[in-house]
Amino acid sequence: MIRILIVDDEPIERMALQRIIETSFTEVEIVGQASNGREAIESAELLKPDLITMDIKMPGINGLQAIERIKTFSDTVKFIVVTAFDTFEFARSALQMGVSDYLLKPSKTTVIQETIGKVIQEIRSNRMESEHRRMDSERLRRMLPIVEADIVSQLLFDDAPSLHLSEMIELLGLPATKGGFVINLLLSESSHEGRHEHGRHEELEGLHAVIVKQLADWNVHCWIGKITGNQIPIILFMEGEQSYRSYALIMGRKLVQAALRHSGYEPFAGIGGLYGELKELRKSYHESMLASVDLSLPARFCLYEDLPRHDSKSISRLTMELEKNVLEDVRRGQFDAAADLVRQMIDVYEGAGERVAIAQQRVFEVIIIVSRMLHEMGVDVQKLYYQGQTTSYVQLRTETRVLIAGIAEAAARSNGELESGLLLKLKHYIKDHAHEDLSLERLAAVVDRNPYYVSKLFKEQFGMNYIDFLTECRMEAAKQLMLESEMSLKEITFEIGYNDPNYFSRVFKKIVGHSPTDYRKQLLRPANKKQL
């Protein structure tokens, strides 16, 4: 309903105009009348009309003065001025004030209908545009956490980031920072044994939502990954003059306290080191995993830089990178390379004259992290342990090789258990639902698998990221619509699942090699030649 206020110092003029409006237009309501400028201002503030017909010559505050006052508290209301003067000076003043149109006294009914009808249509168009903007904004608001989680996944876990990673980062806006680091919030399930899987998943999702809200309330510049298994990876960006160590300790403590307040889980925050480049954040993630080995620490958080480096600085220096590289090789499924790196670690300890018990302890800690990481990737690894305290480095190498072989076998078995039709099911589902907001989590739920595992599997089998395949499906749908319909490019944008026509055009040109406009012209060219 469009609300109209009629302002005129002559009662007969007000009643006549009201009658014409009410008999000529539907979904229009005359919400009031005013006989002078002061009443017009008060009525506009109280009744909040969409359109005001404003007589210019009135006693006291005239029409133009009233318009000026009303626009100070309502910037959306439209005005049609009514006057007996048809002069250039008047028209210029009215236009400068943003008046939509004017009527001369007296005017024919058809002129009144045409003038008011035009402004009513403008109001309706503005409402539709405003609603579209609101819906786009709401879609974007819902989409941003998904984009953010996908960026975290690609930066920390994916071997081959999506072609659109830079666009996704641009959409979020990379904070102007002095580097970033990863906190991996690990949630122990020791007090949740026997809990139904569905109830556990719901509780973890609820806790994830709490952590997201807390970080927003703290005004922290960060990107939050999706919860998978029982860990939440968070990339935090440095700002201001606070030191990395001070900020990392504060955030680790606050995250642990928030998780304790809002769940029955036992949280532990592993904190990786500070890195200046996005591509280096994967190292920080590996460090955060290594910092989570000893979950019994009273503080419930640990910085990687605070891990004990044993008695020898040279051992620490030589093994730190080896430990991180072991995790990277396991994540890629390169177990032979990982086993070789672990052997190198053992060689370092032996070469430094370290006691074998110390070497066994450190190697076992790394293997625990490996099994924990594989669990998050959907690989079921049975509990690992050494037969007992090793007494020689020869025995340590042998038993460690057996443990890693067991891990590799479990990973291979997990991959082999994937039914033959699953990959085809993934592909068909993406094609059928490409026009929807299709997140990795939703895709993984379709086949009842871990999201990171599905992402890795998809790239291994099809040679591309699932986002790239989704994009290709959308581009094929766009090309088909250009060929078979007369839909505008804006309509095609929304039809295939995008919200921004400019973004669609950029992606289309990158994938197809031509802009949508040029591609459509090429489609039409053969038909035009045929007609000649």
Query: Which numeric CATH code is attached to 175-306?
Result: 3.30.70.270
Mean pLDDT check: name the lowest of 215-224, 327-336, 378-387, 506-515.
Answer: 378-387
> Residue 491 corresponds to which tokens in the numbers above?
């309509």
Q: What per-residue confidence (pLDDT) applies to 162?
A: 64
Mean pLDDT check: name the lowest of 30-34, 167-171, 202-206, 248-252.
Answer: 167-171
Query: Which numeric CATH code is attached to 2-107?
Result: 3.40.50.2300
The residue-averaged pLDDT of 8-32 equals: 93
Mean pLDDT check: name the lowest of 72-81, 115-124, 126-135.
Answer: 126-135
Q: Are strands 28-34 and 2-7 parallel, antiparallel or unpaired?
A: parallel
Q: How far apart are the first and last CA of the chain?
A: 51
Over residues 506-531, the pLDDT tens digits come to 889 888 888 988 888 887 655 444 44
Helix (H), strand (E) at residue 157: none
**CA angle centred on 258, ends 255 and 264, rounded to 5°:** 115
At 419, the pLDDT band (50, 70, 90 cuts) reads: very low
Q: What per-residue confidence (pLDDT) applies to 89?
A: 64
Phi and psi of 269, rounded to 5°?
-105, 110
Q: What per-residue confidence (pLDDT) applies to 327?
A: 82
The residue-averaged pLDDT of 158-172 equals: 70
Q: Which amino acid is at 476?
A: E
Alpha-carbon distance values, 21 to 111, 116, 250 (Å): 12, 8, 65
The residue-averaged pLDDT of 152-166 equals: 72
For the chain, the helix, strand and coil percentages under 3-state DSSP, each to the nearest 5: 60, 10, 30
At 308, the pLDDT band (50, 70, 90 cuts) reads: low
**CA angle centred on 7, ends 5 and 12, rounded to 5°:** 110
Which class is 422-531 in CATH?
Answer: mainly alpha
Cis peptide before 501 (omega within 30 of 0): no
Q: Which of 225, 263, 235, 145 is nearest to 451 (CA)?
A: 225
Mean pLDDT check: name the lowest of 18-27, 249-258, 383-392, 417-426.
Answer: 417-426
| Biggest CA-to-CA distance, the chain | 110
At 373, the pLDDT band (50, 70, 90 cuts) reads: confident
Chain region(s) in the chain for CATH 1.10.10.60: 422-531
Over residues 496-509, the pLDDT tens digits come to 988 888 888 988 98
Q: What per-residue confidence (pLDDT) applies to 200?
A: 66
Percent of the chain with pLDDT over 90: 27
Phi and psi of 359, rounded to 5°?
-60, -45
Q: Which of 272, 285, 396 is nearest to 343 (CA)?
A: 396
Secondary structure letter of residue 228 according to DSSP: B
Over residues 257-278, the pLDDT tens digits come to 999 988 888 899 999 999 988 8
DSSP string over 65-93: HHHHHHTTT-SS-EEEEEES---HHHHHH
The residue-averaged pLDDT of 323-339 equals: 81
Chain region(s) in the chain for CATH 3.30.70.270: 175-306
Chain region(s) in the chain for CATH 3.40.50.2300: 2-107
Distance in angstroms (rounded) separating the CA atoms of residues 276 and 289: 19
Q: What per-residue confidence (pLDDT) applies to 524?
A: 64
Alpha-carbon distance values, 30 to 69, 109, 113, 185, 257 (Å): 21, 17, 15, 59, 58
Q: What per-residue confidence (pLDDT) applies to 355?
A: 80
**pLDDT of 79 above 90:** yes
> Residue 3 corresponds to which tokens in the numbers above?
């609300």
In the sheet that holds 101-104, the strands lie side by side as 28-34, 2-7, 51-55, 78-83, 101-104
Tell me the pLDDT of the chain averaged across its residues.
Answer: 82
How buried is residue 418: exposed, middle or buried, by Cβ count under 10 Å (0-12/13-18/19+)?
middle
Q: What per-residue confidence (pLDDT) applies to 116?
A: 94
Assign residue 93 a region (left: φ > 0; alpha: ψ between -120 and 50; beta: otherwise): alpha
Percent of the chain with pLDDT over 70: 83
The residue-averaged pLDDT of 286-290 equals: 80
Q: What per-residue confidence (pLDDT) applies to 377?
A: 66
Residue 221 or residue 91, greater confidence: 221
DSSP string over 237-279: E--TT--HHHHHHHHHHHHHHHHHHH-SSEEEEEE---BSSGG
Which pTM was predicted?
Answer: 0.50
Distance in angstroms (rounded) separating the CA atoms of residues 494 and 503: 11
